[in-house]
Amino acid sequence: MRARSRRPGVWRQPVFVNANDELRDQLLREGVLPPADVEAAYKQAEEVGLDLEIVLRKSHRLSDTHLTALRALRQGVTYCNIGDFLPALSNAALVSEELARRHVMFPLFQCDGVITLGIKDPNDLTAIDQVRRLTRQEVDVVLAGETELLGLIERAYGTSRYIEETSVADSLTELSDAAALEDNQPVIRLVENLINEAVRQGASDIHIEPTEHELRIRVRVDGVLREIAAPPLALHRALVSRIKVIAKLDISKTRTPQDGAFHHRNVEHEVVIRVSILPSVFGEAVVLRILRNESDSVTLNDLGMPQRVLNRFRAVISNAHGMILVSGPTGSGKSTTLYAGIKSIVCPQKNIIAIEDPVEYRNSRIRQVQVNTEADLTFANGLRSVLRQDPDVIMVGEIRDRETAQIAVQAALTGHLLLSTVHTNDSISAIARLRDLGVPEYLISSSLLAVLAQRLCRRVCPECKAPESPPEFLLRAIGLESAEQLDFEPMRGKGCRRCVGSGYVGRVGLYELFELNETFSEMVVRGESSEAIRAAARAAGMQFMVQDGVEKVRAGLTTVEEVARVAGRA
C-alpha cells in the first residue's frame, strides 16, 4: 500500500487512501452493496482514519469471508475458503506454532513437493521465505481469511498437545502389538491422553480411522465431527491393541467386529467408554463413545425448553397413566430429557422401572433393566416382566418394533404411566409411526397423552460472538422470507481459543410439544393424515421446533445457520 503526500516538497502524515479507494471502486463496480451504503462507509473510514475493510466488518455490512474474497480479486491472488476444504492437521509439523500464529498462516496442503500455504497477507515475503527454507519445498501462496486461519491454527496446534505430552519417540513408530501390552510403554499414555483431550473438549465420540497413508482421528463435539492431530500411522496397530486390552477384547481377532467397554478415570473425571471396532480396507477402525453420568444432575429447567412447553410438559408427565413419547434422531438428547422428566416425579410413593439398551446412565432411585438379546431379554419380553413388578411408571428406551409398541400401549391403558422414545422427524409424525407398528387408531387416541420432539443445536460461543447478516436462503430455511422480517440482530461466533475455532460451545435444545386433546384424538380415530393434524395444530397455536429455534436466535443463544441445519425446512 503506497502513502502519498498532499503537496510536493511538504512532508505530511502519510494518508493511506489507495486501498480504500480501490475497495470502494470495486464495491460500486460489482454492486456488492447499495451505493449509498458504500459511500457512507467510505466517508466514515476517511473521517476516523481506518481501513474501509475494518469499517465494513465492524458494521456487519460484509462478512470477513466476503471481504477476503474481494481483497484476493484486487491483489490478483488465489482465494481459498478454508471451510470448503479439509486441510490435513498433520501439516502443523511443517512449521512451528509460534511462526504460524505470528504470521497468521498454515500449510493447507502438501503434494508433489509443493506446499499450499494459506496466509493472511500474501505480500509477507519474510514468512513465505521462512516456510520455503524450513521445509525445503516449493511454496504456493493463497489468501485465506484471518478468522478461518486462526481457528485452523487452534485446532491443529491446540489438539496436538496430547501427542507431545506422550513423548512418543521416533523409535515407537515400529511398536509391535505386544509392546502395547506393557505397562511402561508410552502408547499407554497416548491412549490416556487421547481420551483426556477428547473429554476436555466435551466430545461424545472418538473416531480412530486408518487410511492408506495416514492415521486420522476425529472427535464429535456438540454433534459435529472435528479432526484433531493424530500420531503416525505406524502406531495404529499398537493403539488399537491397547484399546482392546483395556476393553477386554481379543487382540488376535482383526477381521471381525468387536464391541466392549471400560472405565476411564483421572483426577478430574470418570467416564465409561463404549468401544466399537470394525475391520476396514486399511485396518481396524475404532469408535469410542464417551458416556458421562450427567443426566442424574440435569433437571427439566436445565434443558432450555420454552416456558410454555416446560409448563405443559410438567403437567402431562404428572399424569397417573397414559403414554408420553419423546421423538428425535440419535444423539438428540431424548434419554436426558426422559431422565430429567423422571427426576421431576420420582418419590418414595412411586415404583419406577426402566428398560434400556444399553443402560447408559445409572440412577439409584429407579430400577434399571438392560436388554440382553442373548438371554432373550428383549424390550417386549422385558416389558411383560416389568408389568408383573407392580410399576407406577415405566420407561422403555425405544419403541422399535410391533410387539413392543402393542405392549406399551396396553400398559398405558391399564393404569401405568409409560415413557418412551421414537425416531421421527417431528412430534406429530409419531402418530404415523405407531400406525406403521400396527397400533390401531382408537388405541393411539386412547393411550397417547403427548409427544415431545426435540433437536440439539450448537450454542454460539459467548467469547467471540458478533452480529451477522445471514444469507437469504438460510433465512428462508427457518421460515423468514427476507432480512426485512428480522426485528433483531442474529449472532455468529467468529472462532477463538475457547471454542477451538468453531464459533460454538455447548448445545441447546429446540422443542415442540404436541398434546392430544379431544379434537386431535377424533382426527386420529378418523385416520386423518399427519399433514392435516399438523395444519390443525398450527391453527390452534402450537409452536413448532423451527419457531423455537428463531426465538433462540433472537435470544443470542444460537445462529440462523444452526437452526436451519437441525430444524429448517428444505
Does residue 390 share a domain with residue 527? yes
Q: Which of 158, 181, 198 is the last residue of a domain?
A: 158
The number of beta carbons lying within 10 Å of the beta carbon of residue 142 is 18
Give the CATH number of the domain where residue 133 resides: 3.30.300.160
Residue 445's pLDDT is 95
Residue 285's pLDDT is 97
Between residues 194 and 161, which one has the greater pLDDT? 194
Asked whether residue 567 is assigned to any structural domain, the reply reads: no
Does residue 347 share a domain with residue 303? yes
SS (H, E, C) 294-321: CHHHCCHHHCCCCHHHHHHHHHHHCCCC
Distances in Å between the Cα of 541 and the Cα atoms of 309, 397, 433, 534 are 12, 31, 24, 11
pTM (2 d.p.): 0.71
Give the CATH number of the domain where residue 241 resides: 3.30.450.90
Does residue 300 share a domain with residue 268? no
Model confidence over 270-313: pLDDT tens digits? 888 999 999 999 999 999 999 887 655 789 999 999 999 999 99
Residue 161's pLDDT is 62
Asked whether residue 516 is assigned to any structural domain, the reply reads: yes
How many whole angstroms separate alpha carbon 187 and alpha carbon 164?
12
Mean pLDDT for 17-29 is 79
Place of cell 430455511: 477
Does residue 437 share a domain with residue 315? yes
Does residue 138 share a domain with residue 175? no
Does residue 222 share a domain with residue 309? no
Q: Which of 241, 275, 291 is the last residue of a domain?
A: 291
How many whole angstroms separate alpha carbon 513 and alpha carbon 457?
17
Share of the chain above pLDDT 90, in %: 50
Model confidence over 415-439: pLDDT tens digits? 999 999 999 989 999 999 999 999 9
Model confidence over 76-102: pLDDT tens digits? 888 888 876 767 777 888 898 889 999
Give, as one character, the DSSP assignment of residue 328: -
Asked whether residue 464 is assigned to any structural domain, the reply reads: no
Does residue 375 share a domain with residue 254? no
Quick one: cell of 492?
455468529
Asked whether residue 397 is assigned to any structural domain, the reply reads: yes
Between residues 28 and 288, which one has the greater pLDDT? 288
Model confidence over 466-482: pLDDT tens digits? 888 888 888 888 888 76
Distances in Å between the Cα of 133 and the Cα atoms of 98, 126, 130, 136, 451 are 16, 11, 5, 5, 63
Find out whether 397 and 424 touch, Cβ atoms under 8 Å.
Answer: no
Give, as one character, the DSSP assignment of residue 235: G
Asked whether residue 430 is assigned to any structural domain, the reply reads: yes
Residue 418's pLDDT is 97
Lowest mean pLDDT among 152-156, 184-188, 328-332: 184-188
Number of residues that make up the chain: 570
Asked whether residue 253 is assigned to any structural domain, the reply reads: yes
- Sort 99 into a burial class: Cβ within 10 Å, 0-12 / 13-18 / 19+: middle
Find out whether 499 and 461 touch, Cβ atoms under 8 Å.
Answer: yes
Mean pLDDT for 133-141 is 92
Find out whether 174 and 232 touch, Cβ atoms under 8 Å.
Answer: no
pLDDT band at 7 (very low <50, low <70, confident <90, very high): very low
Asked whether residue 3 is assigned to any structural domain, the reply reads: no
Find out whether 258 and 248 touch, Cβ atoms under 8 Å.
Answer: no
Does residue 435 share a domain with residue 321? yes
Q: Is the pLDDT of residue 16 over 60?
A: no
Asked whether residue 72 is assigned to any structural domain, the reply reads: no
pLDDT band at 5 (very low <50, low <70, confident <90, very high): very low
Distances in Å between the Cα of 479 and the Cα atoms of 152, 188, 468, 471, 558 are 33, 51, 18, 13, 16
Distances in Å between the Cα of 413 and the Cα atoms of 417, 422, 445, 489 are 9, 19, 11, 48
Q: Is the pLDDT of residue 166 over 60?
A: no
Q: Which of 117, 134, 158 is the last residue of a domain?
A: 158
pLDDT band at 170 (very low <50, low <70, confident <90, very high): very low
Q: Is the pLDDT of residue 558 over 60?
A: yes
Residue 40 in 3-state DSSP?
Answer: helix
pLDDT band at 484 (very low <50, low <70, confident <90, very high): low
Does residue 279 share a domain with residue 153? no
Q: Is the pLDDT of residue 387 over 80?
A: yes
Share of the chain above pLDDT 70, in %: 89
Does residue 106 share a domain with residue 151? yes
Number of domains in the chain: 4
Q: Domain range for residue 274?
A: 161-291
Residue 323's pLDDT is 98
Does residue 361 share a domain with residue 433? yes
Does residue 165 share a domain with residue 154? no
